[in-house]
Amino acid sequence: MSSLNLDDFTDLIERPDGGVRRDAEARRERQIVPPGSLGRLDDLGEWLAAAQGAVPVRPIRQPRVVLFAGDHGIAELGVSARPAGTAAELVREVLEGGRPGAVLARRLGVSLRVVDMALDCAPDAFPEDVVRHRVRRGSGRIDIEDALTPEEAEAAFRAGVAVADEEADSGTDLVVLGDVSVGGTTAAGVLVAALCGTDASVVTGRGGEAIDDLAWMRKCAAIRDALRRARPVLGDQLQLLATVGGADLAAMTGFLLQCAVRKVPVVLDGVVAAACALVGQRIAFRAPDWWLAGQRSGEPGQAKALDRMALEPLLDQGVTVGEGAGALLALPLVQAAAALAAELPEKPEESSEKESEASEASGESGVFEASGTEPAEE
């Protein structure tokens, strides 16, 4: 019998510190640039302060890109622009630095980690630090069979929790979360449609490499068929991930929840990360308070999931390639918010007092002038 109790996450996850956020807002009121004049950067800085429990907010010194990788059996139906079972090629290119996510991470000076959960290749195809959490090779075709056994789903979920602990223990202070998969957006679409109670066509997008109309119709049909299998297990999130998810998606869900437990902020990339976050929200309703949406990819499933979690993307760039690339574009924005919140000087106290007195005098004068009459004589 499993010892994993997902309900524990509801008790373990706290919201970012509201008192610290109020202190950050008060400090922002005292800074030389008027509140609101920095737009959303103000809110970001205050959110970071609450997440860190510190005023002024600390700089983001050790961000990390974490990518969970896996192949999905549903890709056999031609729902992806890439052939089924070829996610290992993408992982190799990421590790060699030739993919968009790797290029951006290198340019931004951010370390990148790939976690193989279910690549359809030999276990010795990659270094030990990549493959040591692997659960299985590939996954089941979710339109006709389960992606994972219950035991594999639990193992993958626990692996995600372990990776989150490893990152928190190593000093990672912000995670950019993404995926490297073939067929992953189809599984993500099923999760979003099931959890949002909507039809397949509403969540079916073109994927990472823009499939044509025929492939889109195959993908839509695959999501529709898998959705029929998902609905009976909606009350059990781990069983849902076993039925229509995959080892990489189960691991990402565990990772997201444990990051919230460990108070490590996460920037979500595309539809796969958003779908896992939506499952995480079902498990622990406070968890989304620790996550940011990096960018709007244009995938309808991502938009549906983010709307359900009330997460507004920081950017609107339409990046669908995965690999954390879209979320990485938002990282400088988050770092800028932290720097401005911490480094903008406060107004001199004397100046603040004069402004306050002038404001009070102006208010008293305004009341008298607005009446348009002289005080009555006694």
Q: Please list the active-site residues.
A: 323
Please give the structure tokens belonging to residue 128. Answer: 């030990």
Tokens read off for 330: 């938002």
Q: HEC states along 231-260?
A: HHHCCCHHHHHHHHCCHHHHHHHHHHHHHH
**Amino acid type, 164:** A
Torsion angle defined by CA atoms of residues 122, 218, 178 and 155, in that order, rounded to the nearest 10 degrees: -50
Cα 328 to Cα 352: distance, rounded to the nearest angstrom: 39
Q: Are 315 and 330 in contact (CB under 8 A)?
A: yes
3-state secondary structure of 182: strand
Token look-up 């090779």 returns: 137
Q: Which two tokens stand for residue 336?
A: 């800028």
Q: How far is the C-alpha of 107 from the C-alpha of 346, rounded, in Å? A: 33
> Phi first, then psi: what are they for 108, rounded to 5°?
-90, -5
**244 φ/ψ angles, rounded to the nearest 5 degrees:** -130, 15
Asked whether the beta carbons of 285 and 11 are under 8 A apart, the reply is no
Q: In what order do the strands lie in the sheet with 174-182?
A: 111-118, 63-71, 174-182, 266-268, 291-293
Region of residue 66 (phi > 0: left; psi between -120 and 50: alpha; otherwise: beta): beta
DSSP designation for 67? E
Q: Distance between CA 178 and CA 148 in Å, rounded?
A: 21
Q: Which residue shows structure tokens 């609101």? A: 36
- DSSP-assigned letter for residue 31: B
Judged by DSSP in three states, 52 sits in helix
**Token code pair at residue 273:** 């990360």
